[in-house]
Structure 1
Amino acid sequence: MTTPYSTTTPPVPARFLLLGDSHAGCVGRAAQQAGLPFVGGPVGSGRDFLGPFLDDLDDKGDLVFRDAEPRRLVREFLDVFGVTGFAGLGVPLVCTFGLSAHTVATRQNWDIHRDRHGTVPERFLRSGLFADLVRAGVRGALAFYDRTAALGLRVLVPLPPQRVPGMSDASVFFAAQDVIGAELRARGVELVDLRARVTDGSGHQRPVFCQADDTIHGNLAFGRLVVAELLDRGL
């Protein structure tokens, strides 16, 4: 997990709140480098935000994180804006919760669905059962975006780097990402989709946009593209 950070303190106006897992790291670093004022950063690992991670709504109908550390970090971020909860947030939320498709696509989770050739059939990947299984796997994130929609927040979610580690099944990764993306759009989330600009003919992230020392993260060049897209959308 990347250390959370903020590039702004009052009275400098922040342009957005950044929350997420480690995939938010390159976005924050690129925003810092560009001098774009924001508040926030990663508050946990990707798998922390797939299953349920919110407690019941508080008495104001706001979002409450279940675990102490993300709850503390989010509280500090909101304090910078001078608000008591997400309901008072006056800037867009840029978030990466729920997009850890490589975790959803862990190979052993899908072994029961493989054919005699060892592959997960395309017809299954397009089935309602597959979609149901993916939605169940990211139900915590979907509940989060249900609540941000109810609060009327503008939420932008960058698709993660198109990198599939050895532990994951590539066909499941891409199919699951499509299911998750459709669910987020249905909740009014704006997807920041850079796939046409950062992938090769196979749909995988080109090396120039990959963090060199690991198998899943994007690098600063990728973060810069995300930030440029955020600026193009008015942030």
Structure 2
Amino acid sequence: MTPYSTTTSPTDTAARFLLLGDSHAGPIGRAAKAAGIPFSGGPVGAGREFNADFFALRGKDVVFRGTETDSLYRTFLDELGITGLDGLDVPLVCTFGFSAHFVATSANWDIYRVQGGGFAPGFLHSRLFDDLVRATVRGALAFYAHARALGLRVVSVMPPQRVPGMSDPVVFRAAQETMRRALIELGVEVVDLRDRVTDEAGHQRPEFSEATDGIHGSLAFGRLILADLLDRGL
């Protein structure tokens, strides 16, 4: 994992935001670093690690259950001159919970399929589906809820619209929409660039896709996210 932090000395420009996330945070950090935008943070683990119970509370701070993840987090706090999340005085930018391709793993949804392999009409918009997705990403939602309870400004970034072969595209799209709605309910701002980076079929366009794999966004995608963050005043 590469943190990508570009915090500076106290005599230079202070960090504009703290970036925490899975590998989808990588293009954001790379874009900010290339643009000379000071920040602290970066990817701290794989997306599947940040859905369920991945942290505990220690006072008002959080402790990540993954040793390496918590070590990186402590490093970022040190860069910002604080000892806990409650001391953060810049916005938190986060991608936790938006690795929708894990949630959409096809085999996990076979029990809900009807004859022919599809889903019953309305299932993907049902209370049951919503509850299932929220339960799957409960840890991420709890993390965002805690950050908001601390009074932090929190911005979450929706994932690249790339669905690997192991995942069901319709579940992917519905699951990320459930996550987006849940975050808005918590008062989290959501960066949603779908209408700017997808083709007519809703697939991420090649220029915004990492060429070396089938999941991640490119540096160009990261630059669009960074521009959105800056437009929000970060």
Task: Provide TM-score, normalisation by structure 2.
Answer: 0.97
| 8 A Cα contact 2:60 2:84, kept in partner | no
Q: Secondary structure at the match of 1:109?
A: helix
The equivalent of 1:202 in structure 2 is 201
Q: What fraction of aligned residue pairs are identical, expressed as a percent?
A: 64
Aligned pair count reads 232
Per-residue deviation, residues 110-129 of structure 1 (Å, max 9, x unmatched): 01111211112341111111
Q: Secondary structure at the match of 2:41?
A: strand
Per-residue deviation, residues 85-133 of structure 1 (Å, max 9, x unmatched): 0111010011100001110000000011112111123411111111111
Alignment partners' CA distance in 2, 1:120 and 1:46:
26
| 8 A Cα contact 2:4 2:30, kept in partner | no
The equivalent of 1:160 in structure 2 is 159
- For structure 2, the 5+ residue unaligned runs are none
Deviation at 1:62, TM superposition (A): 1.9
Letter in 1 for 2:44: V
- For structure 1, the 5+ residue unaligned runs are none
In the alignment, structure 1 residue 64 sits paired with structure 2 residue 58: no
Alignment partners' CA distance in 1, 2:121 and 2:161:
19
Q: Secondary structure at the match of 1:63?
A: strand
| 8 A Cα contact 2:157 2:190, kept in partner | yes
Q: CA RMSD in A?
A: 1.0
| 8 A Cα contact 1:163 1:216, kept in partner | yes
The equivalent of 2:28 in structure 1 is 27
Alignment partners' CA distance in 2, 1:82 and 1:122:
52
The equivalent of 2:224 in structure 1 is 225
Letter in 1 for 2:110: D
Task: Provide TM-score, normalisation by structure 1.
Answer: 0.96
Q: Secondary structure at the match of 1:23?
A: helix
Q: Secondary structure at the match of 1:64?
A: strand
Following TM superposition, where does structure 1 have runs of at least 4 consecutive aligned residues deviating by more than 4 angstroms?
A: none
